[in-house]
Structure 1
Amino acid sequence: MRFTALFAVASATISAVSASTLDFSSISLQSLLGGIDVSSGNKYGAPKAPWIAGSTPGWYFGSSPSKFKTLPCLSGIICAILELFPDCLHCPSAPPTTPSPSDGYAQTFSNLTGATQASDYMTYGLVDTVAQCKAMCNSVNGCNFVNTYHDVNGKGGSTQLTCSLFTSCHTSADADNMGGQTQPDGTVDYITNSDGWCKQ
């Protein structure tokens, strides 16, 4: 609901004032997003890495934004707003609908029960497909590796893929986050279908 209000305010503001008279230097993106900081300094909305208790995804990129009312959903008018702020998360280009072996990534591991845990963590969010996670990496400066996985019972019970971005490439040796965090509802999360992809 918070982002519905954001869209209404942003649309009204943009349509009421011509772009040439707007002074964006005095507008805080964080205030537009209801207090969420999606700058690079705040790990694009996910300052706590996914293996840290109490972490939450910073964003959602996929075809079901209505499922994620508390996250910045990277589609529609939000993309135009984010483009006005250079040091923040930006919407990626739509990935191809058909996977391609020549998409610029090489798989380093597949179908593990552990997710990458490393100090070069950049951000994480939720996606519907591996291709969408790769598109996110392509849109974040310095990203060279993606780890997609299902965090069963974690991330608020979401069935979407978790998409973690890193600056360096990783192998299965770094996929040592097995979950094990007790969730607010008493369940314990665990990792399935963990895949690693290194940008070539």
Structure 2
Amino acid sequence: MRAAAFLTAATAAVASVGAVPAANTVETRDLSLSLNLGNIFGGVDLSNTNYYGAPIPPWKPGSKPGWYYGPHPGDHPDLPCLGGLICKILDLIPFFIHCPHEFPPPPPPHHPPPPPPPSDGYTPTFQNISAAVQADDYMTFGLVETVADCKAMCNSVDGCGFVNTYHDVNGKDGSPLLTCALFKNCHGPEDADNKGGQTQPDGSVDYIANSDGYCKDK
């Protein structure tokens, strides 16, 4: 959709929600917003009530990523890609997923080298295992290029406290990207009991590889 048409549709959707009587509940206004804006983002409801576009967790049959965040949005026409104009609109909408804020490039190198940078705000709980977390505090999942991108997504989702990144080999329509699953609470390897095993449309069976878990520091 061209930018002008996209902006017009978004403005109309937000305006229609503003017309909902104040006496209605927050849930009613939230539902109205989801119904209007769901038509804009390729038919995907990116509200928190719909798990930010991914209502079926990645360990269940029929699951699909709710979004893509990374530098190559043109490679993923079937997913809402979090960048550009979409992010500017989402920033204005409560209860919907928000894009990570971009940070300035790192400063040029110093001589002698500066001290190591501080923690990125996450502590690893497991690394490079062959299983992914499945838990009741699941929030959403999408596709990213790097672990850092997944952490940035967690920072932008209210209440997110844990990220699990992994390769779903043969899954996600054969995507080579990392699956980025977000949860409210921290999890260790004992919660990583999703080993794949789902038969795909082409007859292959998916499996989990390079699974890492990171708990957000309080």
CA contact (8 A) 1:24 1:84 kept: no
CA contact (8 A) 1:153 1:187 kept: yes
Q: Secondary structure at the match of 1:57?
A: coil
How far residue 138 of structure 1 moved from its aligned partner, in angstroms, is 0.3
Kindly report the root-mean-square deviation, in angstroms, between the aligned alpha carbons of the 2 structures.
Answer: 2.1
Residue number in structure 2 paired with 1:170: 187
Residue number in structure 1 paired with 2:149: 132
How far residue 83 of structure 1 moved from its aligned partner, in angstroms, is 1.8
Q: Secondary structure at the match of 1:108?
A: strand
Q: Secondary structure at the match of 1:163?
A: strand
Distance 1:151 1:32 in 2: 28
Tell whether 2:5 aligns with 1:9.
yes
CA contact (8 A) 2:166 2:210 kept: yes
Residue number in structure 1 paired with 2:200: 183
How far residue 189 of structure 1 moved from its aligned partner, in angstroms, is 0.4
Cα gap change, 1:97 to 1:158, in 2 (>3 Å): farther
Tell whether 2:163 aligns with 1:142.
no
Residue number in structure 2 paired with 1:26: 16
- What TM-score does the superposition give when structure 2 sets the normalisation length? 0.81
Tell whether 2:68 aligns with 1:60.
yes
Residue number in structure 1 paired with 2:135: 118
Residue number in structure 1 paired with 2:77: 69
Q: Aligned residues: percent identity?
A: 59
Residue number in structure 2 paired with 1:83: 91
CA contact (8 A) 1:147 1:197 kept: yes
Q: Secondary structure at the match of 2:124?
A: strand
CA contact (8 A) 1:6 1:32 kept: no
Q: Which runs of 5+ in 2 are unaligned?
A: 18-35, 107-115
| Deviation readout 1:76-119 (Å, 9 max, x if unpaired) | 11101212321101111236878966000000000000000101
Q: Choose the corresponding residue for 2:119, options 102, 109, 132.
A: 102
Distance 1:96 1:102 in 2: 17
Amino acid at match of 1:81: I
CA contact (8 A) 1:6 1:33 kept: no
Aligned residues: 189
Distance 1:189 1:55 in 2: 13
Q: Secondary structure at the match of 2:38?
A: helix
CA contact (8 A) 1:146 1:166 kept: yes
How far residue 127 of structure 1 moved from its aligned partner, in angstroms, is 0.4
Residue number in structure 2 paired with 1:38: 46
Greater shift in the superposed pair: 162-171 or 31-40 = 31-40
Q: 4+ runs of 1 displaced by more than 6 Å?
A: 95-99
Amino acid at match of 2:76: F
Distance 2:80 2:87 in 1: 10
Q: Which runs of 5+ in 1 are unaligned?
A: none
Distance 2:180 2:215 in 1: 13
Distance 1:103 1:197 in 2: 11
CA contact (8 A) 1:95 1:135 kept: no
CA contact (8 A) 1:96 1:131 kept: no
How far residue 196 of structure 1 moved from its aligned partner, in angstroms, is 0.3
Cα gap change, 1:167 to 1:127, in 2 (>3 Å): same
